[in-house]
Amino acid sequence: MYSKELEELIDAVLADGVITDKEWAVMNKRAMAEGVDLDELEIVVNGRLAKKKAAVVPPPVPGLNNPQPPSVKPASIKYGVMNKCPKCGAVVEAGTVKCTECDYIFRGIEGNSSRQKLGMIIDEIDKREFKTGGLFGLLGGDIFEEERRDEARARAITNFPVPNTKDDLLEFIMFLQPMTEIGFLNQGDVGPRTTRAYKTKYKECINKAKLFFADDVHFKEILKDSKGGFFKK
């Protein structure tokens, strides 16, 4: 269904019947590099996990007092840093940056920051080979290879989630902002699709910052600057 490398990774993750947060992060990183939809991956992997757990329950033997099989606890899957507010204890949904009960702002950054995670994904894409066969490969293999690489980078950036916490969002916006200033004549190694994807992701992050942190001193200058240039109103 997926590439050989991603299928082997899924099989390795499902081997022990439990999916940890780190294993999900590794799978998502590989999937985004290949342009796989993360929601689709979640459904597929959870379906395979359920089949695997169902297969380990032995069938009942006639004439014997078969004990009820122990209930299988689903694997713990966490996508955010927190699932409860540390201040008031309210349950929060994934993607929440501020508690709806007490307005506590979540500041933690889980593991690597979004900037680092996206950087690793882009590095992995840059190391991959995008061979172009047939007549196109003979006429301009390097050109078509770079176009495919540019498309893969843009797809990874587009599918990358907007950060959920204040510190991570601030760092990610500061990382993306210079990318929005790359013009057609000075793109360097960054292709046109990648440039557009960076600008779109920057706008998504700015919109989230306006929604949750419009009055925050750390965001005021950034939001003020974002009103000019590419996003001038």
Burial class (CB in 10 A: 0-12, 13-18, 19+), 143: exposed
Which residue type sits at 53?
Answer: K
User: pLDDT tens digits, residue range 176-186?
Assistant: 988 877 654 44
Contact 163, 172 (CB under 8 A): yes
Which alpha helices (DSSP H) does the chain contain, by range? 4-14, 21-33, 38-55, 114-127, 134-159, 166-176, 192-213, 217-225
Point out the residues of the chain with pLDDT beneath 70: 56-84, 86-87, 92-98, 104-112, 131-143, 182-189, 226-233
CA pair distance 168, 68, nearest whole angstrom? 47
- What does the pLDDT read at residue 186? 47
Q: For residue 81, what pLDDT is reported?
A: 40
Q: How far apart are the first and last CA of the chain?
A: 44
Residue 28 amino acid letter: N
